[in-house]
């Protein structure tokens, strides 16, 4: 297998198969959106487009959350798959590194790896975590975990360690403060930052509406 189009096609087929039965916020359609967005942002950035596409496609094939906390499951699976095609070790290592470091691990976690390609894929993944889609995914995940929608007595915790963030059982609304509303300020690329603005505003509006309805004000 040599040509780029063939490699991308084979990767799409592989990822679709790996994600059969995945939770609705981390399924093939999440990957599809991240992939398309990454291609779009990549047009404005100096970067290796093949690395961007492969990393976007493979970034969630074995999320540690759904693999007994194994943070190496995803990068390992991706690298094993890519080794079957004629890609350089450099490309494979790069994709593996992006997958290993892309995930948000709480507001206080220092990220260990960066590259222009990582910046593009991470921004795309983050854009899918905010705005209307972000809201839908978040409540889907909360339902999947049987979390409360909201509990005014359980306040968001902005000082969680990576471990605490991973093990949190807080209501879904708290996730907006613990992650979603922080993402706008953490976008890597100019394009991503501009796109995050509208999605962020939309979440703010959603939250205002939510609290008003909660109290029967509206």
**Of 7 and 184, which has the nearer Cβ to ligand ADP?**
184
Q: How far is the CB of 103 from ligand ADP (least distance, A)?
A: 3
Interface residue with Ni ion, options 45, 96, 125, 178 (CB under 5 A):
125
Question: Which runs of consecutive H residues, i.e. helices, occur in the chain?
Answer: 4-18, 28-42, 49-58, 73-82, 89-101, 116-127, 131-144, 162-167, 172-178, 190-214
**Does 31 participate in binding ligand ADP (rule CB under 6 A)?**
no
Site for ligand ADP in 60-79 (CB under 6 A): 63
Candidates 40-48, 75-83, 135-143, 202-210; binding stretch for ligand ADP (CB under 6 A): 135-143
Each residue 53-72 as x (binds Ni ion by CB under 5 A) or -, in order, gives: -------x------------
**Of 71 and 150, which has the nearer Cβ to Ni ion?**
71
Q: Distance (Å, rounded) from C-alpha 10 to C-alpha 100? A: 21
Maximum alpha-carbon separation in the chain: 61
Site for ligand ADP in 159-218 (CB under 6 A): 168, 172, 175
Residue pair 189/45 in contact (Cβ under 8 Å)? The answer is yes
φ and ψ at residue 201, rounded to 5 degrees: -55, -40
Site for ligand ADP in 104-123 (CB under 6 A): 104
- Taking each helix axis as running N to C, give the angle between helix 73-82 and helix 89-101, from 0 to 180 degrees, rounded to the nearest 10: 160
Structure tokens, 92: 């494979």
Which residues would be at the binding site for Ni ion (CB under 5 A)? 60, 125
């Amino acid at each position: 297998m040599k040509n780029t189009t063939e490699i991308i096609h084979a990767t799409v087929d592989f990822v679709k198969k790996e994600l059969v039965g995945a939770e609705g916020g981390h399924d093939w359609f999440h990957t599809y959106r991240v992939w398309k967005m990454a291609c779009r942002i990549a047009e404005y950035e100096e970067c290796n487009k093949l690395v961007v596409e492969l990393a976007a496609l493979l970034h969630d094939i074995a999320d540690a959350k759904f693999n007994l906390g194994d943070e190496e499951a995803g990068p390992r699976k991706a690298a094993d798959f890519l080794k079957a095609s004629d890609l350089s070790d450099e490309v494979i290592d790069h994709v593996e590194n992006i997958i290993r470091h892309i995930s948000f691990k709480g507001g206080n976690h220092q990220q260990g790896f960066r590259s222009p390609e990582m910046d593009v894929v991470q921004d795309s993944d983050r854009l899918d975590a905010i705005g209307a889609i972000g809201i839908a995914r978040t409540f889907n995940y909360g339902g999947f975990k049987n979390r409360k929608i909201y509990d005014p007595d359980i306040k968001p915790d902005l000082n969680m360690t990576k471990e605490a963030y991973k093990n949190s059982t807080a209501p879904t609304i708290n996730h907006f403060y613990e992650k979603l509303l922080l993402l706008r300020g953490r976008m890597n690329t100019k394009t991503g930052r501009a796109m995050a603005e509208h999605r962020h505003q939309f979440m703010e509006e959603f939250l205002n509406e939510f609290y008003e309805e909660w109290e029967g004000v509206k």
